[in-house]
């Protein structure tokens, strides 16, 4: 059985989406998503007909944005997240997103070919909040190997 790495990260917008102070985030979303899709190890990401996931919600609050993707390995996701253009926007996260008061990132292993839902991702964030890093849901700081 082959496994891939799923990840969800969420952010609670500080301001309404249409606020001009969010423009740099939203204006670059398509470009950074393209960087992800062109990255080695990228497999899939959650998106709707618009090409992004800003209208897909895992929470009742529409100000909570979801990013959900699948990668071939932890290392591939790390290279994209911390060694591509994406890192410039990651460093600016607090300009656009407020403290969530709960984990904002969860990683977990899925069977190859599985595309997780936003609800599944939220369950992994909830699991991480309740139990800390475990083989079920974990973070970059405390990684777990794929099931054997």
User: Residue 86's domain spans which residues?
Assistant: 3-131
Is residue 137 one of the residues assigned to a domain? no
> Is 146 a residue whose pLDDT tops 90?
yes
Per-residue confidence (pLDDT) for residue 135, from 0 to 100: 98
CATH (domain of 26)? 3.30.70.100
Token output for 76: 């591939």
Q: What is the three-class DSSP state of 98?
A: strand
> Is 148 a residue whose pLDDT tops 90?
no
Q: Round to whole Å and give the CA distance between 17 and 50.
A: 16
Per-residue confidence (pLDDT) for residue 127, from 0 to 100: 98
pTM confidence score:
0.95
> Is 1 a residue whose pLDDT tops 90?
no
Q: Round to whole Å and give the CA distance between 17 and 63.
A: 8
Is residue 142 one of the residues assigned to a domain? no
Output DSSP code: residue 138: B
Please identify which residue in the block is written with the tokens 């790495």. 5
Is residue 145 one of the residues assigned to a domain? no
- The count of domains in the chain is 1
Q: Round to whole Å and give the CA distance between 27 and 119.
A: 26
65, 13 contact by CB (below 8 A): yes
Per-residue confidence (pLDDT) for residue 94, from 0 to 100: 96
pLDDT in tens, 41-98: 999 999 999 898 999 999 999 999 999 999 999 999 999 999 999 999 999 999 999 9
């Amino acid at each position: 059985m082959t496994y891939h790495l799923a990840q969800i990260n969420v952010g609670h917008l500080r301001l309404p989406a249409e606020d001009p102070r969010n423009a740099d985030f939203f204006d670059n979303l398509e470009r950074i998503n393209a960087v992800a899709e062109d990255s080695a190890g990228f497999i899939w990401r959650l998106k709707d007909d618009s090409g992004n996931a800003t209208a897909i919600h895992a929470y009742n609050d529409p100000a909570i944005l979801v990013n959900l993707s699948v990668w071939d390995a932890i290392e591939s996701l790390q290279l994209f997240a911390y060694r591509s253009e994406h890192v410039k926007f990651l460093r600016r996260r607090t300009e656009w997103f407020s403290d969530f008061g709960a984990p904002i990132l969860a990683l977990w292993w899925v069977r190859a070919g599985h595309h997780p839902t936003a609800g599944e991702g939220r369950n992994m964030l909830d699991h991480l909040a309740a139990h800390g890093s475990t083989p079920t849901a974990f973070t970059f700081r405390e990684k777990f190997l794929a099931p054997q």
